[in-house]
Amino acid sequence: MILMGAALAGCKKEVVRYASFDEYPVRTDELLEMNYSPTETTFTLWAPTAEEVRVLVYETGEGGHPIDTYTLARAEQGTWKTKVGKDLKGLFYVFNVKQEGRWLGDTPGINAHAVGVNGQRGAIIDLRDTDPAGWSQDRAPQLGSVSEAVIYEMHHRDFSAHESSGIAHKGKYLALTEEGSRSPEGIPTGIDHLKELGVTHVHLLPSYDYASVDEHTLEEGKYNWGYDPLNYNVPDGSYSTDPYAPEVRIREFKQMVQALHKAGIRVVLDVVFNHTFNTEGSNFERTVPGYFYRMTEDGKFADASGCGNETASERPMMRRFMVESVRYWMREYHIDGFRFDLMGIHDIETMNAIREAAQQIDPQVLIYGEGWAASTPQLPENQLAMKANIRQLPGIAAFSDEMRDGLRGPWNSDSIGAYLAGIAGNEESIKFGLVGAIEHPAIDYTKVNYSTASWAAQPTQMISYVSCHDDMCLVDRLMTSIPGIRPDELSRLDKLAQTAVLTSQGIPFLFAGEEVMRDKKGVHNSFESPDSINTIDWHRLATHYDVYNYYKNLIALRKHHVAFHMGDAERVRSGVSFLPIELEGVVAYRLQDARDEWKDIIVVLNARKDFAKVEVPGGRYVIVCRDGAINEQGLGITYGPVTMVPPQSALIMYLSES
């Protein structure tokens, strides 16, 4: 039902009312809200329930009084529009929507592409002015297959802010453009470190404009991960060298992407469409109240995010917004992948629409997310992008908490260990992750953490990891769950954990700094802890160079041998088999892929504190990983049918006839 022409508060303005959100008109053109040219600027806002809309223009990004106010006229598909026939470049703007006789408050809109300090006002700029030299020629490095991906998750401040980083632009986008940075011991850091390590993708924690860090007071060192969205489609100012100049954050973000591409590294952006920082005062709520959020039956804002609200991805304009945002980051910023926070809150149809749109731009785009929610969302579970529904999400991956917690221990108790702590009963969870969460005849699913069946159709739909920014980092978790652990045990188990991750048929994912055994002083949830907790101390690169070297060589081993990343479920089912093991705390498997020059590879993971005797097929083997060392050219020769694996370590060897 649509009612037209009602009068409110003595006004004779035309009012449009809708019986339900399903009746709201859907904007079919690009969701552009400010379109600049030197001769005119067009303002367009989708606000179908408004009775009036105005745009206020300012000289600065904050403070002062508007220098002009323009009234928008009702237009097609629920939009309001006006054209200002003069050059507004360098000025700032906000919209204000009137509904039911009340002005809802200033907002840069839901889709600002440039903002002033702290994101309170949109900025009128020419985006082409923000392109660095050579930007039109920038191209992402190509992979042979998405199965070759190795992801490195980082926070801008964590990676470069420590005094030992040798980086000039500490904590900034430009930190990742600096070549030649060194630790005090003379070892490469920064982008040179990433190139040497060999990762294929850098996953950036949220880098859009978020609300919790005051860009005025950056010198005070206020820290946050950024999971509190304000403006989704513009970089955050706290990582720029000048948050007051709208062009600077955009240009520096592009320079960062360009530098990473030049270094052979693709870029993944962490996106948080599932909730906003606030609700009542959010850009969504000040534009079309109620539409962009789900409500409970009693009319309250639902909260499956645990952050005060949950967005309604199933509604056409929220879906359009999400799809267009992903396309915008790919086209304007050359982003190569997206990690979806609490992806389980979003509906399957929307996530598939995002994947289809993204793959049209880049067939190698990487899309993955958390296949869960903080609490039960307001949609039926069979409609949600939960881990259990990943088969319905081709080309989209989810994190495997089965493998993660099988290795380190349960998510709800830092003090309880698992496989790495020598606790029996976690072997099937490890095997589940090693095959990439696909259906495999050798897995006993009754003994797998959290899942009683496979959930991935393809191994590339599973993210293999043991730690990330959430919860304790690996070193802290090992120290907490294994009281009294010795330094040598700590490094051995660290290497063992990542051997499982990097020989998994899923897509491996590493938390920045774990290659130098970073810690976070035991802090479980460091989302707003200071730099003293979160930053990577690059002195550790020299102290733990053997661990770093192990990670580097293990990544190279994975890259060079397709048997470690077969990329296809049928190949994995036929090419990955598990050796019969009677010992607890040992997992042994065999990799066979006709495409690999190593036709028969044996991997053994031994979490025991003593040597493990493992029966293997007879023959002559070249050992490439043993007792915490890796050398692809060979560490020695051994012969089946029995091999001995040192305690708390991995063995990798291949069958060689000569």
Q: Which residue numbers are catalytic?
A: 341, 370
Yes or no: say if 199 and 510 are a contact pair by the CB < 8 Å rule: yes
Yes or no: say if 443 and 435 are a contact pair by the CB < 8 Å rule: yes
Yes or no: say if 646 and 625 are a contact pair by the CB < 8 Å rule: no
Place of tokens 């801008």: 156
Instruction: Give the three-state DSSP class for 249.
Output: helix
Contacting residues for 233 by C-beta, under 8 A, at least 6 apart: 111, 112, 113, 208, 325, 328, 329
Instruction: Give the three-state DSSP class for 350.
Output: helix
Yes or no: say if 130 and 251 are a contact pair by the CB < 8 Å rule: yes
Q: DSSP string spanning 418-429?
A: -GGGT-TT-HHH
Beta bridge partners of 630: 625
Q: DSSP string spanning 363-407?
A: TT-EEEE-S--SS--SS-GGGB--GGGGGGSTT-EEE-HHHHHHH
Q: What is the dihedral of CA 243, 247, 250, 256, to 10 degrees?
A: -90
Instruction: Give the strand pairing for 52-58 and 92-99.
Output: antiparallel
Task: Report residue 136 CA to chain centroid gap.
Answer: 26
Yes or no: say if 587 and 618 are a contact pair by the CB < 8 Å rule: no
Q: Kindly report the length of the chain.
A: 658
Q: Which of 564, 588, 575 is nearest to 649 (CA)?
A: 588
Beta bridge partners of 508: 464
Q: How far is CA 209 from CA 5, 111, 119, 282, in A?
A: 39, 12, 7, 13
- What are the φ/ψ torsions at residue 284 (nearest 5 degrees)? -60, -50
Q: Is 39 exposed, middle or buried (0-12, 13-18, 19+ CB in 10 A)?
A: exposed
Yes or no: say if 66 and 57 are a contact pair by the CB < 8 Å rule: yes
Q: Which of 547, 565, 460, 549 is nearest to 503 (CA)?
A: 565
Q: Which of 198, 164, 197 is nearest to 181 (CA)?
A: 164
The crossing angle, in degrees rounded to 10, of helices 348-361 and 316-333 is 30
- What are the φ/ψ torsions at residue 67 (nearest 5 degrees)? -90, -20
Contacting residues for 433 by C-beta, under 8 A, at least 6 apart: 400, 402, 403, 404, 406, 462, 464, 500, 504, 506
CA distance 69 to 47: 18
Q: Which tokens sit at 441?
A: 């005849």
CA distance 355 to 333: 18
